[in-house]
Structure 1
Amino acid sequence: MAEELQTRERLRPVDLARRHGLSTQAVRNYEESGILPPARRTEHGYRTYTTLHARAMDAFLALLPGHGHRTAAAVLRAVNEGARGEAFRLIDESHAQLRDDRRTLEDVEAALRDLSLPAGPSGAVPRGGFIGPLARELGIRPATLRKWERAGLVRPPRDPATGYRRYGEADVRDARLAHQLRRGGHSLERIASVLEQVRSAGGPEPLEATLREWHDRVAARGLAMLTGAAELAAYLREDPEKATA
């Protein structure tokens, strides 16, 4: 019976490739990079895989949409090396990033609500700061803010006395909104267009479609993470040694 089971579980590279819609070269590459555990070799040197490798491939492909290639690959390598704690740490980091993305989306919506507030006295210079402190607050380089200015995302006036850029409240708001939208995956051209529409319209309506798309992406990633977790758990159960500390 054991010999029959071993024969039934044995998979050729082409079997594993077809099952997952991949090329045999891709399967070999995944093994060589540590995403799959090492394959056994026949006496003639041919690779042979088992259901354990199929489970590993299932887990990797399921982790991809939620975590991205780099993290998904690192998770499988850690599992295959017996470093369960490292694999879980990587997954935790992805979940933390998703949490941050949700908060960022909330921040964008809050910033857009602020757009509907009455503006200050006409001609008054809002309280703000110079480019260096604002860049540090956003966690970006001053060169990035200058690039955004050239793209029309922010329009800080120059200080009459020094000639330096002086970011008022509206400029800071636009810079924060641009930063949040960049994190959401939007191009500079798209953000510039949105901000121009917002400035012209004086309200958040032009961003409603963008925010709906962002909500959908965040929700889809969260669901993908759940799917990936289920497949990874199934892989760990396939090999009890990898499922215990």
Structure 2
Amino acid sequence: MAIGRLAGYSTQQVRDLERLGAIPPAQRSANGYRRYDHRHLVALRAYRALAAAAGPVLARQLMPVLLTGTVDEAAERIDELHAAIARGRSQLREARSGLDAVLVETGEVFEERDAMTIGELAQALDVRPSALRHWECEGLVRPDRGSPVRHYGAGAIAEARIVAALRSGGYRIPAIARILDQLRSQGLTAEARELLDQRLAELTRRSIALLDAAGHLHEFLNQLYQTATEAHPIA
């Protein structure tokens, strides 16, 4: 299938993506064969770029929405991807700062007024308070429970930043727990450094890949806009 070769997919993959609604349905010729055109190539390339950046699951979920929704809705979803890039970059910087705070022993006394409540920390990390409670139950974050109200000091804040960044990058709880255990007991061991560097590099790669995907998504979105305009011309 020529369309598959141009997009870098097998014939079966193209058919599967059509079945899932990730690309427009193909027209059928008189003998029943599928007929693909430039619209399908643009959609396939947009899907491929999006899958490389955000993962195939998100791409399979998003492409049907872009295809069947309004142009305004499609543009809004693309804007959300750019916002996700910004959040990822922010989390990456905070993870590096948190890592420094955990590893560097300055000897300075942490002032109580700098501690955060669970609500303040959740807002700073852009997560739900329930996520912080879950991380506490898993032993990932250790707030001060000397009073009925949780208070997060320097170490807990730094570790929460690391957890938030790694969770957003796809790390599972056991792997994060292993990293934090090593940081707490041995400092930055070779294994902990490798795991952290791999995940932080992956977050950077995904951010850059989303920027690359934006070009393909722009072409795809522009094509949708032109199609909508042709179907409903402005008087």
Give the distance between the partners of 1:166 and 1:205, measured in 2 at CA: 32
Counterpart in the other structure of 1:8: none
1:222 paired with 2:172, answer no
Residue identity in the other structure for 2:28 = R
Give the distance between the partners of 1:133 and 1:191, measured in 2 at CA: 23
1:58 paired with 2:45, answer yes
Give the distance between the partners of 1:133 and 1:236, measured in 2 at CA: 38
Q: 1:178 aligns with which of 163, 180, 192?
A: 163
Give the distance between the partners of 1:141 and 1:226, measured in 2 at CA: 27
The answer on whether the counterparts of 2:42 and 2:216 sit within 8 Å (CA) in structure 1 is: yes
Counterpart in the other structure of 2:233: none
The runs of 5 or more residues in structure 2 that have no matched partner are 231-235
Counterpart in the other structure of 1:212: 197
Shift of 1:107: 0.8
Give the distance between the partners of 1:235 and 1:138, measured in 2 at CA: 33
Give the distance between the partners of 2:20 and 2:111, measured in 1 at CA: 57
Give the distance between the partners of 2:35 and 2:172, measured in 1 at CA: 46
CA deviations on 1:162-215 (whole Å, 9 max, x unpaired) are 677654443333233322332232232232232233333567987543443244
The runs of 5 or more residues in structure 1 that have no matched partner are 1-13
Give the distance between the partners of 2:158 and 2:171, measured in 1 at CA: 17
1:83 paired with 2:70, answer yes
Counterpart in the other structure of 1:72: 59
Shift of 1:104: 0.8
Q: Pick closer, same or farther for the CA change 1:212–1:243 going to 2, 3 Å.
A: farther
Q: Pick closer, same or farther for the CA change 1:204–1:88 going to 2, 3 Å.
A: farther
Q: Which has the larger radius of gyration?
A: 1
Counterpart in the other structure of 1:154: 141
Secondary structure at the aligned position of 1:90 is classed as: helix
Counterpart in the other structure of 2:185: 200
Give the distance between the partners of 1:239 and 1:47, measured in 2 at CA: 21
Give the distance between the partners of 2:63 and 2:151, measured in 1 at CA: 49
The answer on whether the counterparts of 1:126 and 1:169 sit within 8 Å (CA) in structure 2 is: no
Q: Pick closer, same or farther for the CA change 1:181–1:219 going to 2, 3 Å.
A: closer
Shift of 1:59: 2.2
Counterpart in the other structure of 1:7: none
The RMSD of aligned alpha carbons is 4.0
Which stretch shows the higher mean deviation, 174-183 or 235-244? 235-244
CA deviations on 1:139-178 (whole Å, 9 max, x unpaired) are 555554454334332334542xx67765444333323332
Give the distance between the partners of 2:63 and 2:191, measured in 1 at CA: 42
TM-score, normalising length from structure 1?
0.68
Counterpart in the other structure of 2:175: 190
1:231 paired with 2:216, answer yes
